[in-house]
Amino acid sequence: MQNVTRLCHTKSIVSVNGQFPGPRIVAREGDRLLIKVINHVPNNISIHWHGIRQLRTGWADGPAYVTQCPIQTGQSYVYNYTITGQRGTLFWHAHISWLRATLYGPIIILPKRGVPYPFPKPYKQVPIIFGEWWNTDPEAVITQAMQTGGGPNVSDAYTINGLPGPLYNCSAKDTFKLKVKAGKTYLLRLINAALNDELFFSIANHTLKVVDVDAIYVKPFETNTILIAPGQTTNLLLTTKSQFPNAKFLMLARPYVTGQGTFDNSTVAGILEYETPLPMNKLQLLKPILPALNDTSFATKFSNKLRSLANSQFPANVPQKVDKHFFFTVGLGTSPCNSNKTCQGPNGTMFAASINNVSFVLPNNSALLQAHFSGQSKGVYSPYFPSSPIIPFNYTGNPPNNTMVGNGTKLVVLPFNTSVEVVLQDTSILGAESHPLHLHGFNFFVVGQGFGNFNPNKDPAKFNLVDPVERNTVGVPSGGWVAIRFLADNPGVWFMHCHLEIHTSWGLKMAWLVLDGKLPNQKLLPPPADLPKC
């Protein structure tokens, strides 16, 4: 526990090595990492290495009760994995309850020695992590929301590298400053670690060049503003002005909002400062213009610009034929209020969320991967997750009268090397909303997206199977659908969930079980001796 003060509030937070945000991990493609996590706090802890492929090392993936039981107070666990075929920016964060509110940090993966970037070598590299700050304890926020069935209290501020910046009460001294030289190129490594908000980001009077998302190179393109969802990373090249511009520049981030609920309608600011002998307080401060809070057309245009490099050095190995098709509805719903009280959700119910009307329930006395590996899955999970909605309806039209969700612990079982297509369809139940869906253990290709209901007869003809963007977290468009493809070449149990933490808490999650292949290098490695017990 560490005392931290923001917005004139001092509180004790869970932190790593006394740092907030936590320490950065710098590695090269091909490196093997051994990270010992010792738990000195009252909470159960589990750390996820977000976006790392974890080939055959599912035991190191980290989501609590999925691949491991959490590390209990006074216990430790060594995460042991190798970074294979990835370079760029990822991040690590707690993967239990809402502890990632303060437990997160960057993973910077450099190319192998002697391998250049496919863009000009930057003068300097700067991680920029967006987060959220609560004056209260986020664990109390989610506990209260789950008890009352209502929406959670929203954060008090957004942060850049843990700092809220000058637009918040008594935070001028807590401002991230990016000090630059004229005529240089900087690589900005953006990470959205916020719990519940997609964010727009812009720097006044400067153009940004997108070169990489989710640790995969993309065809570079220039933009004034980027959109980044929780769980996503974006590498940008910032080329500074050739001579001193006689000004300072605000870097702003604020939410992109599509749902009906309350949200933190505030703006985090950092300052871009050029090296100068002049006194900083004499310089004018310029401000960027950000899109409107609900600018879905900007969100769509931005995501459509993202394309894989798809060249001989960095091919886009898009599965051209599909072995298994899945159609998943994702969205909100309700569940009945327990016992005789009234709840604060819609019409006295409790808020819930689901995929194909299954609101996922994690086990609490075992982890799914352990149950599978030991052959003791009976009573822990069933292998019958529905591959399409049991009751079809007009997904983006007037919602059905019955908004109740079912619940259960069901997995999709896939043979090794199955090529999979999943269409993720947003629903308008309790309001259409953008959902950043994150898949553990794999990257996937975003082969198509659109608005309204997915049409299986017409829409696949428009899929991009040549250079679609490859990533680990994709926004399901508000009132629309997105189609992804991946090859199930990594044995283990792999979580897939909305990276808006409240939606995960409400059940917008599921898991894939990929079976071992025939060859020795196609099998899950055995669990380490120090794997935490429940």
Residue range of the domain that includes 396: 324-522
Q: pLDDT band for 493, please (50, 70, 90 cuts).
A: very high
- Say what the pLDDT of residue 338 is: 80
Least confident of 346-350, 417-421, 480-484: 346-350
Q: pLDDT band for 403, please (50, 70, 90 cuts).
A: very high
CA distance 419 to 485: 7
Closest C-alpha to 471, from 435, 436, 424, 433: 436
Q: pLDDT band for 126, please (50, 70, 90 cuts).
A: very high
Can you give the pTM of this predicted structure?
0.98
Mean pLDDT taken over the chain:
97
CA distance 213 to 307: 10
CA distance 260 to 255: 14
Q: Evaluate if residue 44 carries a pLDDT over 80.
A: yes
Task: List alpha helices for 160-295, DSSP H.
Answer: none
The string of pLDDT tens digits covering residues 24-39 is 999 999 999 999 999 9
Is the torsion defined by CA of 24, 29, 33, 37 positive or negative? positive
Q: pLDDT band for 280, please (50, 70, 90 cuts).
A: confident
Reported residue count of the chain is 534
DSSP calls for 480-492: EEEEEEEEE-S-E
Per-residue b or e along 73-84, where b marks 16 or more CB atoms closer than 10 Å to that residue's CB: eebebebbbbbe
Q: Evaluate if residue 124 carries a pLDDT over 80.
A: yes
Look at residue 274 and tell me if it is in a domain.
Answer: no
Residue 24's Cβ-count burial label (10 Å; 0-12, 13-18, 19+) is: middle
CA distance 251 to 221: 19
Q: Evaluate if residue 271 carries a pLDDT over 80.
A: yes
Q: Are 334 and 383 in contact (CB under 8 A)?
A: no
Average pLDDT, stretch 59-67? 98
Q: Are 385 and 352 in contact (CB under 8 A)?
A: no
Look at residue 410 and tell me if it is in a domain.
Answer: yes
Look at residue 283 and tell me if it is in a domain.
Answer: no
CA distance 349 to 300: 33
Domain CATH for 371: 2.60.40.420
- Say what the pLDDT of residue 87 is: 97
Look at residue 229 and tell me if it is in a domain.
Answer: no
Q: Are 189 and 106 in contact (CB under 8 A)?
A: yes
Look at residue 128 and tell me if it is in a domain.
Answer: no
CA distance 60 to 37: 11
Look at residue 69 and tell me if it is in a domain.
Answer: no
Q: Are 402 and 359 in contact (CB under 8 A)?
A: no
Q: Evaluate if residue 340 carries a pLDDT over 80.
A: no
Q: Evaluate if residue 485 carries a pLDDT over 80.
A: yes
Average pLDDT, stretch 224-250? 97
- Say what the pLDDT of residue 226 is: 98
Q: Are 354 and 507 in contact (CB under 8 A)?
A: yes
Q: Evaluate if residue 508 carries a pLDDT over 80.
A: yes
Average pLDDT, stretch 389-404? 95
DSSP calls for 307-363: BB--SSSS-----SS-SEEEEEEEEEEEEPPSTTS--SSGGG-EEEEEETTEEE---
Q: pLDDT band for 260, please (50, 70, 90 cuts).
A: confident
CA distance 408 to 372: 17
Contacts of 91 (CB under 8 A, 6+ apart): 50, 51, 104, 105, 106, 107, 129, 191, 193, 233
Q: pLDDT band for 278, please (50, 70, 90 cuts).
A: confident
Least confident of 249-258, 274-283, 442-451, 499-508: 274-283
CA 444 to chain centre: 14
CA distance 118 to 229: 25
Closest C-alpha to 87, from 180, 218, 178: 218
CA distance 54 to 514: 13
Amino acid at 404: M
Look at residue 101 and tell me if it is in a domain.
Answer: no
Q: Look at the chain and report how many structural domains it folds into.
A: 1
Look at residue 94 and tell me if it is in a domain.
Answer: no
